[in-house]
């Protein structure tokens, strides 16, 4: 409609030149007919503009017909009710009269351009008003759809968070039902063994199960032992007058003692069976929880592959990251229970991939940078998963006990002995020499954790998992003081875990990891972090998905 208006106004604005004076032939004296070039050029321009206006008018009518076919009744009614009135009727008459032919007649050229422009402009303004109203309605509808989608996503996140809290609560309740009766039995048995004469019977308020039966058996033995002791004491006081009774009582006491030993052996057997039952229960619960998390990760991965919206994809990555936290807890429980649940690899794995997997398995992976690693170093496939798990525990401790705006550096060198040394360096507050010596002693001997000392002085489960994994493959782990502030965790990998022998690097074996030169690897963890670490397998090529670990105490 705007093109039709502009073309018609331009055609009417083409000037009509005045006819030229006739020329006389100088030889004959007769008038000579000459072609008026300016007049012909003006007629040609006017005809071209009027023809283009007619074509624009045809396209306008086609567009209005298409709108009438595609639009809903409300939109059609709005157009019909808005684009109406005397000015619109006048514009339609002008258009019908001026675009019925490709050229303008003499009478049509005399049309008042100002009136024509006013009528056509009024009609176009009404069309634009309808267009603006329809666009506003469409924007409001799309905003409503967006709000509904955001609300649905928030509800989904809340539901998943509730499910996670329920799972944690159920796991905690199950653990308490297993550990509390064992603690009652252990403390009660120790008390009865120290003071069998004056100690009170063991009290157990749980449900009537195997633990309650063991407690009843212990109280029965204690009651019999107390009665025998009282009986023996009475008979001993009357030894001078009742020697025969004393001999009979001694024989009876011998028989009762033999019976007590038999019952004690049965009680020890029952306690051993209960210990095995608790161990298998922990392993079974861990494997079940691990299976459910793996299925949840598979579902989230399928949603990520089909999702196109960047915001929803980022939310799915967060849910994926939360699920890996649950998987990590299950794997830690298996390590503490002494069960192996690793995914062995047929061939060696590059050390840089193992380091990337370790970085991606912690919660604050964006704070970790890889400074340098031995080029072309590889790890045996059977130990790659456990080594990644071990490094992840050390990195988690480093990020947990250092300022949130600081960085944790992971470095590595090839020693002259053929072993590889890795270091995890943080900028935390450090620790005392006595505390560091205690932790190093426990890292060297996993049995010190199994003795239950970690509950007395606060050593966390992360270091116990690290000690168990290191002992499994002959890896040496040690904590060292760092210049300035912070702690450096040094990990020495034996040659048995390194399939390929490499030339020794220039840094000496005694050099601290914090003094190594910085080297930006082409596949560094910063680059892996920028890709949101999409994979979730323990040692994927080339990067692993983040699997957070509980902060170290």
29: alpha, beta or left, given left = phi > 0 and alpha = psi -120 to 50?
left
Give the chain's radius of gyration (CA, Å): 45
> Could you count the other beta carbons within 10 Å of the beta carbon of residue 229?
13
Q: Are 525 and 542 in contact (CB under 8 A)?
A: no
- Report d(CA 410, CA 400) in Å as an integer: 15
In CATH terms, 348-530 corresponds, of 3.40.50.300, 3.30.1360.200, 1.10.150.120, 3.30.565.10, to 3.30.565.10
Contact 336, 468 (CB under 8 A): yes
52-68 pLDDT tens trace: 988 998 998 899 999 88
409 vs 517: CA distance, rounded Å: 12
At 424, is the pLDDT very low, low, confident or very high (cuts 50, 70, 90)? Answer: very high
How far is Cα 48 from Cα 86, in angstroms, rounded to an integer? Answer: 30
**pLDDT tens column, 65-115:** 998 888 888 888 888 888 888 888 888 888 888 888 888 887 788 888 888
What is the pTM for the complete model shown?
0.46
pLDDT in tens, 132-160: 888 998 899 899 999 999 999 999 999 99
Is 341 exposed, middle or buried (CB count within 10 Å of its CB: 0-12, 13-18, 19+)? middle
Q: Of 291, 368, 365, whose CA–CA distance to 533 is shortest?
A: 365
310-341 per-position pLDDT tens digit: 998 888 887 887 777 677 767 777 787 777 76
| Interatomic CA distance for residues 357 and 391, integer angstroms | 9
Instruction: Give first-to-last CA distance, the chain, whole Å.
Output: 76
């Amino acid at each position: 409609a705007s093109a039709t208006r502009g073309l018609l106004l331009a055609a009417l604005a083409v000037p009509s030149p005045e006819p030229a004076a006739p020329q006389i032939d100088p030889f004959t004296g007769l008038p000579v007919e000459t072609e008026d070039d300016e007049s012909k050029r003006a007629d040609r321009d006017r005809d071209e503009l009027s023809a283009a206006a007619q074509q624009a008018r045809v396209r306008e009518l086609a567009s209005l017909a298409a709108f009438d076919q595609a639009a809903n009744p409300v939109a059609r009614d709005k157009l019909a009710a808005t684009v109406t009135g005397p000015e619109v009727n006048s514009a339609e008459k002008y258009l019908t009269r001026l675009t019925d032919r490709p050229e303008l007649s003499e009478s049509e050229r005399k049309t008042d351009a100002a009136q024509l422009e006013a009528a056509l402009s009024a009609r176009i303004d009404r069309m634009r008003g309808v267009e603006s109203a329809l666009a506003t309605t469409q924007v409001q509808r799309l905003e409503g759809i967006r709000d509904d989608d955001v609300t649905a996503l928030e509800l989904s996140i809340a539901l998943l968070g509730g499910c996670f809290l329920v799972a944690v609560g159920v796991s905690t309740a199950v653990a308490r039902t297993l550990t509390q009766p064992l603690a009652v039995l252990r403390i009660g048995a120790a008390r009865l063994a120290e003071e069998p004469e004056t100690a009170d019977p063991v009290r157990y308020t749980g449900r009537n199960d195997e633990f309650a039966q063991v407690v009843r058996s212990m109280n029965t033995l204690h009651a019999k032992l107390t009665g025998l002791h009282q009986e023996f004491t009475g008979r001993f006081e009357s030894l001078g007058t009742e020697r025969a009774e004393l001999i009979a009582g001694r024989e009876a006491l011998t028989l009762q003692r033999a019976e007590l030993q038999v019952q004690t052996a049965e009680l020890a057997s029952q306690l051993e069976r209960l210990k095995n039952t608790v161990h298998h229960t922990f392993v079974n619960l861990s494997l079940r929880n691990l299976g459910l998390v793996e299925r949840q990760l598979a579902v989230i991965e399928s949603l990520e592959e089909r999702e196109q919206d960047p915001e929803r994809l980022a939310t799915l990555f967060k849910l994926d990251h939360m699920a890996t936290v649950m998987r990590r807890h299950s794997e830690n429980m298996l390590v503490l229970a002494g069960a192996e649940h690793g995914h062995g690899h047929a061939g060696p794995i590059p050390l840089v991939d193992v380091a990337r997997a370790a970085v991606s398995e912690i919660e604050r992976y964006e704070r970790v940078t890889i400074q340098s690693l031995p080029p072309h170093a590889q790890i045996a496939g059977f130990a790659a998963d456990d080594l990644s798990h071990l490094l992840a525990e050390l990195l988690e401790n480093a990020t947990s006990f250092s300022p949130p705006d600081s960085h944790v550096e992971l470095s590595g060198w090839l020693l002259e002995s053929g072993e590889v040394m890795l270091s995890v360096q943080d900028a935390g507050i450090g620790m005392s020499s006595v505390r560091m010596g205690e932790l190093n002693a426990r890292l060297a001997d996993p049995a010190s954790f199994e003795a239950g000392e970690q509950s007395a002085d606060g050593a966390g489960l992360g270091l116990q998992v690290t000690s168990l994994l290191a002992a499994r493959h002959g890896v040496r782990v040690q904590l060292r003081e760092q210049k300035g502030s912070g702690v450096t965790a040094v990990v020495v990998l034996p040659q048995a875990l390194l399939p390929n022998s490499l030339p020794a690097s220039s840094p000496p074996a005694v050099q601290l990891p914090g003094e190594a030169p910085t080297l930006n690897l082409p596949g560094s963890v910063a680059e892996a972090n920028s890709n949101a670490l999409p994979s979730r397998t323990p040692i994927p090529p080339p990067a692993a998905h983040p699997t957070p670990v509980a902060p170290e105490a």
